[in-house]
Amino acid sequence: MKNTVGNISLLLLLTCGSCSSTYQFSVDIQEPAAVTLPVSAQNVLILDNTIVQPENNGMERTYNGQSIHENYPLYLDSMVWSAIDEMAIVLNESNFFKTIAIYQKPLRTDTEWLAETILSPEEQADFYNTENYDALLVIDRLLFSVKENVKKIQDVSFSYEPSAFVDLRTDGLITCSMYAFGKDKPLTTFTVSDSLFLKSMVANDSTILFKVLPEYLLDELSRVIGNQAATHFIPTWKTTERMFFTGYNSRMQEAVGYAADKQWLKAESVWASELENKTKPADKAKIAFNLAVTNEMQDKFDEALEWAQKAKDYLQSANPNKDSKEIDLTNEYISLLKQRIQSNRLLDLQWGKE
């Protein structure tokens, strides 16, 4: 499994609610894929199992209030290939799979564009046996709606060419299924939807207004939802926040200095020493909290949870009114650590780590 802690940037934030300040920083954390595939699913073939919707279905377009879509049909045939191309790029760049390939021909020849069809075991076998693929990512449906209102701008004194204002919205949804070798039915089927908008003044050219712009936006939207669909199958990274408690004595400042330089072992050593010197439960709780964070940054999640629990235990012996902020922070951090432990177990499974 890849290292679950990425780049770290630190920012000192002073707080006035207690006798200490906090040192807050950002950390990139890897999260498991939404869908856990068999580790054997390494060679993926992407298939088009869609039927293109009729040209004018879901299209509402006007010019100065008059319908125009019958004169400027939008051709959607290529949109599924834009989505598939984006999916292949995302899956390839993830380094999560061995091979990503695209089957270049559509599978269906019927006209039931709203229907979803499941690949039979015989159809699946044809692809598994062709190039030793062990997973099939199938696009079942790709549907759009377009709402476009164009108004000619009457006062063109500021422009050398006639202008128009275009208010354009495209909505799209993609439905995908993932099949794996040895399974007759899809492992998962899901739908992703999104929208793109354009509001702008452009040249009053009918080809630009009613062909170039909407088809460009539809192509971009196809790639957006294709990207989102692909991320269901790969671990992703997100930036989240962590913090230390610090104080005004030199040893606490020294530990924060080590932490700022990502020298976690040195920071841990100083804080462990300081913990022995403290007598007040609230002070011990803050240092135990810091020790939890330093362990998390070293991917020692069970140890981090133990220290966070100790911080909570210390706070139970302190003043709950005075230390309410610390209590809330510690409880929240314990929940985050438990979630990270569960996520990392799933990541290990997805990466095939024993």
Residue 160: pLDDT over 70:
no
Q: What is the pLDDT of residue 324?
A: 84
Largest separation between any pair of C-alpha atoms in the chain: 82
**Where, residue-wise, is CATH 1.25.40.10 in the chain?**
5-32+237-351
Convert the pLDDT of each residue in 287-304 to its tens digit: 999 999 999 999 999 999
Convert the pLDDT of each residue in 328-347 to its tens digit: 999 999 999 999 999 999 99
Residue 157: pLDDT over 60:
no
Residue 23: pLDDT over 90:
no
Q: What is the pLDDT of residue 15?
A: 38
151-174 average pLDDT score: 82
Q: What is the pLDDT of residue 161?
A: 67
Q: What is the pLDDT of residue 236?
A: 94
Q: What is the pLDDT of residue 18?
A: 41
Residue 6: pLDDT over 60:
no
Convert the pLDDT of each residue in 199-253 to its tens digit: 999 988 989 999 999 999 999 999 999 999 999 999 999 999 999 998 888 998 8
Q: What is the pLDDT of residue 309?
A: 97
* Placement of tokens 């330089």 in the chain: 261
Q: What is the pLDDT of residue 318?
A: 79
Q: What is the pLDDT of residue 155?
A: 63
Binning pLDDT at 50, 70 and 90, where does residue 114 land?
confident
Residue 254: pLDDT over 80:
yes
Q: What is the pLDDT of residue 13?
A: 40
Which of 38-42, 119-123, 248-252, 350-354 bottoms out in mean pLDDT, i.e. has the lowest?
A: 350-354
Q: What is the pLDDT of residue 156?
A: 54
* Global confidence as pTM: 0.82
Q: First vs last Cα of the chain: how many Å apart?
A: 10
Binning pLDDT at 50, 70 and 90, where does residue 354 land?
low
Q: In terms of Cα–Cα distance, which of 196, 138, 180 is closest to 40?
A: 180
Superfamily of domain 5-32+237-351: Tetratricopeptide repeat domain (1.25.40.10)
The Cα–Cα gap between 273 and 303 comes to 17
Which of 119-133, 163-177, 213-227 bottoms out in mean pLDDT, i.e. has the lowest?
A: 119-133
Average pLDDT, the chain: 89
Q: What is the pLDDT of residue 72?
A: 86
Residue 2: pLDDT over 50:
no
Give every CB contact of residue 50 below 8 A, 6+ residues apart in sequence: 80, 106, 108, 113, 139, 140, 141, 142
Residue 273: pLDDT over 80:
yes
Going along the chain, which residue ranges are E strands? 5-13, 21-31, 43-48, 59-63, 66-67, 99-102, 135-152, 163-180, 188-203, 236-246
The Cα–Cα gap between 50 and 176 comes to 10
Residue 275: pLDDT over 50:
yes
